[in-house]
Chain A
């Protein structure tokens, strides 16, 4: 299970202010903390007005990679911003994201293929998230045929089956897991990801919901997640789930995490 650290996102007020004030110290601290907590990638979302986004993206990439040496995950639908970000990145970045939307495939896929970037692909086209597994699966098929023809191997693709808020759609997780299983059966080499915190939007006690969802999704085959690596409960849930699923030989990761104080003892 690998983590894409979600915290450097310009849609969050404090990060937004730090980006516009060019406050490198704050953002580098955020980057370091996430890397130390075990993130494999750091999501980078400038979240600014479109005309400023390429410039802000480059500054963010340069600022963050001064502080950490893990790859970034460039989070934008703006091809100009992605292109600038790819050029500024020292390590091959992940692209977040493409979807079944034709314009995004046409504009973003060549960038990703040219630079050998792993790509997150959303199981939706245009802007409406399909309700059913069948519709989402059909979009994934379309996307994968496009990524294959542009020369990107399935191992580089991270499908996001899309998780909607349970508060507005009680079947959300069931559809997510059904979609994930269908895609996995058809494309055994493909990876999966999910924006974790969306599931609990609008509800109290969100941490419990996030943990339970993560556990169920991991059982189904989720192998990466866009989440807050500093969330200790989530980290504990990942370690425990991997242990229970038999993916932790001699329970070493679990006992080491215990020694490191990840689990609070009663």
Chain B
């Protein structure tokens, strides 16, 4: 069953994947087994994307399938063990910028690699980041931004985190179309990444796993 589920997700067969999950739940499969299969399938999808076999729409559809499946097994999960054995990551596109594609890809890849990710969405005000650091207690914060105005917004977001006394609790990585070493220094982030895999590597190095 798991194998069939992995293949259905990896081969973009949404209806089939959903009905397999429903059947697995009915037959008493553990939600963890289903999640493991989803994770493995996501890994395959991610690798196909990196190799240029899959493209952005497949990535988005895979994300949709993951959301749907999560919805189906959520009731079963409530009682189950906490997920995210590899630590917690807070993601968001900074204030004044609404580019979500890059951020969504990074979020997707981080989840596929077993991190628990809270995505605050786009155009996220500074105080929303500081609040979420207090409540969600992430190990890593990822700031995304595509526009040049992102440089200042990232700098100000990181300053706000510092002023809230939370800077030492988190590692901060930034990314986006025009982010480089200079921008990293300007914003006082800990690191920048060129692509989604760089975010995974950074997170693994910081958190372990």
Contacts and interface: CB of A to CB of B under 8 A. Distances in A.
A47 B101 contact: no
Interface string B48-71: 000010011100100000000000
B96 to A, nearest CB: 6
A49 B151 contact: yes
Contacts of B186: 49
B151 A50 contact: yes
Contacts of B97: 127
Given A127-B97, A168-B56, 5 more contacts: A49-B148, A49-B186, A165-B56, A168-B60, A203-B57
B178 A202 contact: no
Contacts of A49: 148, 151-152, 186
A256 interface: no
Nearest first, the 8 closest Cβ-Cβ pairs linking A and B are A202-B56, A167-B56, A167-B57, A127-B98, A11-B178, A203-B55, A128-B98, A47-B148
B209 interface: no
A51 B98 CA distance: 22
B123 A167 contact: no
A201 interface: yes
A48 interface: yes
A181 interface: no
Interface residues of A, number: 19
Contacts of A48: 148
Contact of B123 (A11, A16, A128, A201): A128
B101 A77 contact: no
A84 interface: no
Contacts of A246: none
A49 B60 CA distance: 32
Given A16-B178, A49-B186, A127-B123, A11 B148 contact: yes
Interface residues of B, number: 17
B56 A201 contact: yes
Interface string A124-146: 00011100000000000000000
A128 B57 CA distance: 21
B177 interface: yes
Interface in B79-123: 96-98, 101, 123
Nearest to B178: A11
Contacts of A10: 148
A250 B192 CA distance: 57
Given A127-B97, A127-B98, A128-B123, A77 B56 contact: no
Interface string A39-75: 0000000011110010000000000000000000000
B33 interface: no
B149 interface: yes
B98 A50 contact: no
A261 interface: no
Contacts of B98: 127-129
Contact of A167 (B60, B152, B177): B60
